[in-house]
Chain A
Amino acid sequence: MEPKKRVLVYGYGNPGRQDDGIGNEMVNMIQRWIETHHLTCMQTDSNYQLNIEDAEKISTWDIVVFVDATQETRINEYKFKPVEPSEAQVEFTMHAVSPEYVLHLAQKLFNKSPETYVLAIKGYEFELKEGLTDNAKLNLEQAFQFLTRQLAGWALIKKNLPISMLS
């Protein structure tokens, strides 16, 4: 049997800015779910934003799921998509980088290319306030249901067991 794939769920944002903390909250929920199901091949992490040192972090995992808030008008609730490495240049005085940038850096510096995805969840309010808006909470719940199904699939696929075992 092939070894289980190791999965990192990495949410980022500032929970002091309302829906900007949606990625952090998802990590809290996924962490509880991982502990409940004793999925030792999975871990979570979170931070205010991605940065260059995250290239080293993701290089040690088989699969990485970044979770972030989005204001993208074409996204209604959430969107799950693979990340393609990008050579996007440094942005002015920006002190944070994108998932595409982190993946590209992991390839160039550490010769690693984990299977990488972004789960972008729609947010609405980003003011100085704790807590998600009601609409963001609804989107988060839907995204959580989706992500746990996805994680369950990754956890069980090598065991050839039904996903329902983790529901």
Chain B
Amino acid sequence: MPKKITIEPVTRVEGHGKVTIQIDDAGQVRESRLHIVEFRGFERFVQGRPYWEAPVLVQRLCGICPVSHHLAAAKALDVIVGAGTGLGLTAVGEKMRRLMHYGQFFQSHVLHFFHLSSPDFLFGIDADPAIRNIIGVAMHHKDLAVQGVMMRKYGQEVIKYTAGKKIHGTGAIPGGINKNLSIEERDILLHGADPLNADKMVEWSVAALEFFKAFHKNNKTLVDTFAEFPSNHLSIVRAADGALDLYNGVLRAVDSEGNRILDDVDCQDYNKYIEEEVRSWSYMKFPYLKHLGKEKGWYRVGPLSRLNTCDFIPTPLAQKEFEEFKAYTNGKPNNMTLHYHWARLIETLHAAEEIRNLLKDPDLQNEDLVIKGEKTHKGVGVIEAPRGTLFHHYEINDNDQITLANLIVSTTNNNEPMNVAVNHTAKSFMNGQKEITEGMMNAVEVAIRAYDPCLSCATHALGKMPLQMTLVNSKNEILDQKTK
């Protein structure tokens, strides 16, 4: 009799997901699916609104990564106001946006590693859930936990000084920015009292990488084989030289062997190359490269993919780590799901280095904040959000009202890979099992968590997101149920 195992986090308003695992009569996993309810109403909501409101409006989408949406929208509107695709901004305009972006990257990656992932590494997937959390980290590795908290705080400070305020920031506007960085703000971030300064953030980023690499050294089988599968990888890279560039560039994709399958194409043309498939069992679409088709054209995005597509990292310490990362797979793309964490920490170090470099750049105190040129009616903004490539596409009419909005968020880009990862994990951990164990639940979570999906953005009020895993038979009779 086929059985279903369901992992269902129930959220209050929107953005929830559940995992369904079908088991056949022999107890073998037949198929696994990750269902994510994605909030799509935003694209209709902005229609008719003046285009210049978009960078603020989009922050309603997500209280977790509002900066990414803010900047992607601003980049799209740069095109509409004739300020190019980002490269056309003034020096202070582009550099302030980059500083904001690196601050967002830094705090987001730090949260993911210290808060969500490090407990798995420190205590193991099967460890007692009572200690497998950041409280457990605090109890057993207090210095590491304090570092995580203070690094988060530093990243938030960078955002505050560049976006203007913590909620509904207005730092980026079409064609530029609305504030520069004062000398006082620069000195707080660059030379703040220990540990809240740029040098310490670089130092701690290196230490976090060493922590991961030590874990990897002692747990190679787990880290290298857990939910490992070949795939394509997509990101933007710097147009001039293929460097890792989180803010601006051209679209590049490689296959699992490293062959270029999307060759540095203009982001304005993204919809010539990317299609989104609708499947009846999921509200979230499945993007793929058109010319390869649905079966072969899906791809991964995010830290692992970015390090697979770029040619080098333009900051010295992160580049050194990148070389070690690439050497591990002999220069070929890395398809190991848990290596997302390794890549994420290399990017954390890169962001810390970029923040330090930018804070020393006098262009940040320039006064020429905005430029404008000849207006157009369509603009596409593509940015590398912490979780992966983020597309914002707007079209306007002659009255400056938005007539079309299309967003492809990072978690949507990773929809198919997360499904594949869950399937691999289910087959590894659940074949032949008759009841749900904490270790099984967390194994599925670990596979999904590697992609750092943002399932529950925007609202959060009290009492929200239990994780429920239910084992039912073909008649939907509950055989086992676990909630956490």
What residues make up the interface of A, taking CB atoms closer than 8 Å to B?
12-17, 20, 24, 46-49, 51-53, 55-57, 68-72, 87, 89-98, 101, 104-105, 108-110, 118, 120, 123, 126-128
Contacts and interface: CB of A to CB of B under 8 A. Distances in A.
A75 to B, nearest CB: 9
A118 B148 CA distance: 25
Contacts of B64: 48-49, 95-96
B115 A52 contact: yes
Query: Is chain A's interface secondary structure helix, strand, loop, or mixed overall?
Result: loop
Contacts of B132: 89-90
Interface stretch (B322-330, B346-354, B454-462): B454-462
Given A49-B63, A53-B156, A70-B462, 8 more contacts: A14-B458, A17-B458, A89-B130, A94-B456, A96-B64, A105-B134, A108-B142, A128-B60
A126 B168 contact: no
A81 to B, nearest CB: 11
Given A93-B116, A105-B134, A51 B111 contact: yes
B465 A91 contact: yes
Contacts of B455: 92-93
A91 B467 contact: yes
Interface stretch (B275-283, B337-345, B391-399, B445-453): B445-453
Contacts of B60: 14, 16-17, 128
Given A24-B167, A92-B445, A93-B456, A52 B149 contact: yes
Contacts of A126: 12-13, 459, 461
28 contacts: A12-B460, A16-B60, A17-B459, A48-B460, A52-B115, A52-B134, A52-B149, A53-B150, A53-B152, A53-B156, A71-B12, A87-B130, A89-B135, A90-B115, A90-B116, A91-B464, A93-B9, A93-B448, A93-B449, A93-B453, A94-B464, A95-B111, A95-B454, A96-B64, A97-B115, A101-B135, A126-B461, A127-B41
B441 to A, nearest CB: 10
Interface string B390-415: 00000000000000000000000000
B42 A128 contact: yes
A127 B202 CA distance: 40
Given A52-B149, A70-B461, A128-B60, A105 B449 contact: no
Among B60, B114, B459, max chain A CB count under 10 A is at B459
A56 B150 contact: yes
A164 to B, nearest CB: 32
Nearest to A79: B462
In this complex, the interface size class of chain B, counting residues with CB under 8 Å from chain A, is 35 or more
Contact of B135 (A48, A91, A108, A127): A108
A99 B133 CA distance: 16
B166 A105 contact: no
Nearest to B115: A52
A92 B454 contact: no
Contact of A14 (B63, B138, B142): B63
Contacts of A15: 167-168
Among A24, A53, A97, A98, max chain B CB count under 10 A is at A53
B9 to A, nearest CB: 5
Given A13-B459, A68-B461, A92-B445, A47 B153 contact: no
A72 B57 contact: no
A53 B115 CA distance: 11
B462 A53 contact: no
Nearest to B44: A128
B459 A20 contact: yes
B146 interface: yes
Interface of B: 9, 12-13, 41-42, 45, 57, 59-60, 63-64, 66, 111, 114-116, 119, 129-130, 132-135, 138-139, 142, 145-146, 148-150, 152-153, 156, 166-168, 445, 448-449, 452-467, 484
List the 6 shortest-distance A-B pairs measured between CB atoms, nearest first: A16-B60, A48-B63, A108-B138, A53-B153, A53-B152, A69-B461
A90 B458 CA distance: 18
B115 A109 contact: no
Contacts of B13: 17, 20, 126
B164 to A, nearest CB: 14
A82 to B, nearest CB: 14
Given A14-B63, A15-B168, A123 B461 contact: yes
Contacts of B115: 52, 90, 97
A108 B42 CA distance: 40
A12 B153 CA distance: 16
A24 B445 CA distance: 32
Contacts of B456: 93-96
B467 A92 contact: yes
B121 to A, nearest CB: 13
Contacts of A93: 9, 116, 445, 448-449, 452-456
Given A16-B57, A89-B484, A56 B453 contact: no
Contacts of A56: 149-150, 153
Contact of A128 (B41, B134, B168, B460): B41
Contacts of B460: 12-14, 20, 48-49, 96
A132 B64 CA distance: 21
A69 B12 CA distance: 12
Contacts of B130: 87, 89
Nearest to A16: B60
